[in-house]
Structure 1
């Protein structure tokens, strides 16, 4: 009897310790996911700062704001430089961790190929759309781009027959309502700066990132986080620099020499390239922390925490570009801040089942 009692007591202590460790791991995952949101704010702020440098503004002022060069090519130059910097950061850290050989081997596996496909959707397509949207409409587009969890839920229903349920439908409705708030506020003012195009491309970015989350879900469960983020950033940087820029040059009737002349000038101008180096590191840390946070606290809650960038990104951009650099036009209207908070609530409703969340708290 004494031995049985001792064994039972030991099991009870072990179970309690495990619950404490699980609770600590879960809470740390939430902090990591929130850190991802903060770094996304810095990514948005510093890529905007790079496009607000004296060099960049001299390019923009020399052409019509509606010209193909200003609307599509210059923002893609910014995105390509940023994602290339981000890829170099990822490769450097992967090499430091001694995982370059694993990186090479993983690319040729089925999960690696799936991740490459998801990177093509979420990187060159969604990221370039986001950067063009920022250049055309400013940080008002951020909450629209943050619709990706809602879109991801809809795509999961279509592709994987996952049930939405009343809670997720309600969350999607809240997000759509918040998007309408932002859109109506934007379109009542001066729309001469391609505001409609910016909002439309922000939705394209949300669609791309939502699709990326669905496609990459399977692969990311079987690939080391550092390897996965390195694949993503490398694919994005290479395709934007060597595929999208040449295509846009041909379509826009701009010579390759002129297009890549902008790239060369940007990377040799110290104030500009510093902004892109910081933005690239921030993008790398944001996506890496997002993957890691999702694995620690669950993809649903991780998405909800990361979705707080609807508030963080405009705030950090306003501080860095508006206050520190003194560039006008980055203070958002009160309704935009309210809509951002509403959007966060909608994302939270989609991503988190209150019963499961409170259940975990009770177990802790």
Structure 2
């Protein structure tokens, strides 16, 4: 009887370890997929801002718009439309899943308010800075914005006394080195002031997203990540469309300009098709990222999501450069190398890369022992 009991116990342990292994691998797959979809979102959003009325606004004569409006107001509007579309997709998803009531109830709770704060940081600030940087400097800014995990690690240490050991410090140093490597391709004799400004604004996006990561991590620990994402996207869409865009309009000296531009943008069919797709990809990105984090750990999940530093330029090249036939979306080899180094640095911050092989070996050994 003891031998039978041991055999059953061994099989149970083996089955449990297999489930844990499959769960962990699925989490990694989801987190990697979130990095892939974030790269696609970047390309689709940028494509939308070249179609329809946007082509006139960014055209040779800029449709009579001032340099400030073209550089900042239009970027804020593009981000606002994307986040508004994303909010619609998130609400539809909550209705299908039967969680819309939970979404409404969670808004005025402590974790709900934390998610609103995270959305205000990540939407109007980081999101708009990201789009401005893309319009100014192209896809070279994508790996720079991916510095956010390194920034989140530093801010977590400062604000919440979170762990920051030698391995994480090394990973941060690798990310900084990669960012300088990527940035060096812009600091040439032919680099324009516009490119350098876009590069700097991408750093602002990374700072804001790093801060958002610290805040949102606390909020999503207390509520369903699908509800948290819905709160984030709705808040970001509203704040961008009804606060940030009008503020830029006032700064441009034309109070009613934001309404006029928004109406033209929302009724521009050729562009809205791409914005609808970028909004959908934005929701998918956050959902798969948060789901991956819950299955393989926030550190590894964030590292896998950080692969958008490579996928962003890749999809911009394929969609805008190859498919769209637009110039300026190819990157020098040094930038691609820097993007890969950045991915390694992000992984090192989140975990010891050797643990991936140890985990696999441990799983295999345990399975052999159980058998």
Answer yes or no: same fold by TM over 0.5: yes
Q: What stretches of structure 2 of length at least 5 have no aligned partner?
A: 364-371
Query: What CA distance in whole angstroms lies between the structure 2 residues aligned with 1:347 and 1:74?
Result: 32
Deviates more, 1:283-292 or 1:348-357: 348-357
Show CA shifts across 1:144-167 (max 9, x none). Answer: 000011001101111122232111
State the match for 2:369 in structure 1.
none
Secondary structure at the aligned position of 1:163 is classed as coil
In structure 1, the partner of 2:237 is 237
Asked if residue 84 in structure 1 is aligned to residue 84 in structure 2, the reply is yes
1:245-324 alignment, distance < 5 Å? 245-256=245-256, 258-324=257-323
Per the alignment, residue 160 of structure 2 pairs with 160
Q: In the aligned structure 2, how far is the partner of 1:177 from the partner of 1:192?
A: 22
Helix, strand or coil: the match of 1:186? coil
Task: Tell me the TM-score normalized by structure 1.
Answer: 0.95
Secondary structure of the structure 2 residue equivalent to 1:222: coil
- Tell me by how many angstroms 1:355 deviates: 5.2
Task: Tell me the secondary structure at the aligned position of residue 185 of structure 2.
Answer: helix
1:123 aligns with 2:141: no
| Stretch moving more, 107-116 or 186-195 | 186-195
Q: Say whether 1:109 aligns with 2:109.
A: yes
**Whole-angstrom distance in 2 between the partners of 1:95 and 1:297:** 28
Task: Report the TM-score when normalising by structure 2.
Answer: 0.94
Alpha-carbon shift at residue 214 of structure 1 (Å): 0.8
C-alpha distance in 2 between matches for 1:16 and 1:85: 45
Q: 1:65 to 1:268 in 2, by over 3 A?
A: closer
The alignment's C-alpha RMSD in Å is 1.6
Equivalent residues, number: 361
Partner residue of 1:25? 23
Which residues of structure 1 form unaligned runs of 5+? none
Partner deviation per Cα, 1:229-288 (whole Å, 9 max, x = no partner): 1011001100000000111111121232x2222221122121100010011001110111
Tell me the secondary structure at the aligned position of residue 328 of structure 2. Answer: coil
Kindly report which structure 2 residues correspond to 1:142-157, keeping only aligned pairs within 5 A, or say none.
142-157=142-157
- How far apart are 1:362 and its partner, in Å? 2.7
Q: Are the aligned partners of 1:32 and 1:293 in contact in 2 as well (CA < 8 Å)?
A: yes
Task: Give the SS at the match of 2:192.
Answer: coil
Supply the distance in 1 between the matched residues of 2:313 and 2:283 (Cα, whole angstroms).
19
CA distance in 2, matches of 1:190, 1:260: 38
Aligned to 2:259, what secondary structure does the other structure show?
helix
Q: Identify if the C-alpha distance between structure 1 residues 246 and 351 changes in structure 2 by more than 3 Å, giving closer, same or farther.
A: same
Contact 1:76–1:132 (CA<8 Å) still a contact in 2?
yes
Mapped partners of 1:158, 1:43: distance in 2: 32
CA distance in 1, matches of 2:82, 2:189: 31
- What are the residue-to-residue correspondences of 1:124-143 with 2, within 5 Å? 124-143=124-143
The aligned counterpart of 1:338 is 337
Q: Pick the aligned partner of 1:60 from 58, 61, 72.
A: 58
